[in-house]
């Protein structure tokens, strides 16, 4: 079984500031890692994912995350945030085997971008 810890429940930042949302996981098997974003009263949207290969993955809107196997982390970063990035961000993990459809989510980090 896997588990995900998102260390910060809320992260307030000012517009154009950099941000890092932290995610650590535990698993006894190889994993796939995901970041999802949830805007108010909406469903989750996949932001980016790590399956294999390069440990640095990027999204189309400027976010990036780096898989660090030794530290069991998958932190999400953006060098300069916008007001529109205000949302809740969920880190998720699945095993890389036959039940990889079963996502395990963290409790989420509410990112609030202030003007």
Using CB under 8 A, list all residues that contact other proteins: 4, 6, 9, 32, 36, 41-46, 49, 51, 90, 92, 94, 96, 99-108
**Taking the complex as a whole, how short is the minimal distance between the CB of residue 103 and other proteins, in angstroms?**
6
Judged by beta carbon, residue 9 or residue 80, the one nearer other proteins is 9
**Taking the complex as a whole, how short is the minimal distance between the CB of residue 44 and other proteins, in angstroms?**
4
How many whole angstroms from its chain centre is CA 88? 10
> What's the chain's Rg over C-alpha atoms?
14
**Taking the complex as a whole, how short is the minimal distance between the CB of residue 32 and other proteins, in angstroms?**
5
Sign of CA dihedral 77, 64, 57, 36: positive
As a whole number of angstroms, the distance between CA 96 and CA 94 comes to: 6
Judged by beta carbon, residue 15 or residue 103, the one nearer other proteins is 103
| C-beta neighbour count of 77 within 10 angstroms | 15
């Amino acid at each position: 079984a896997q588990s995900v810890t998102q260390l910060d429940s809320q992260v307030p930042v000012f517009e154009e500031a950099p941000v890092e949302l932290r995610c650590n996981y535990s698993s006894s098997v190889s994993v796939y890692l995901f970041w999802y974003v949830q805007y108010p009263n909406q469903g989750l949207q996949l932001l980016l994912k790590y399956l294999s290969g390069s440990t640095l993955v990027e999204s189309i809107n400027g976010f990036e995350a780096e898989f660090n196997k030794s530290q069991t982390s998958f932190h999400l970063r953006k060098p300069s945030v916008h007001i529109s990035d205000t949302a809740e961000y969920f880190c998720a993990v699945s095993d890389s085997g036959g039940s990889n459809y079963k996502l395990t989510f963290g409790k989420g980090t509410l990112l609030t971008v202030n003007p």
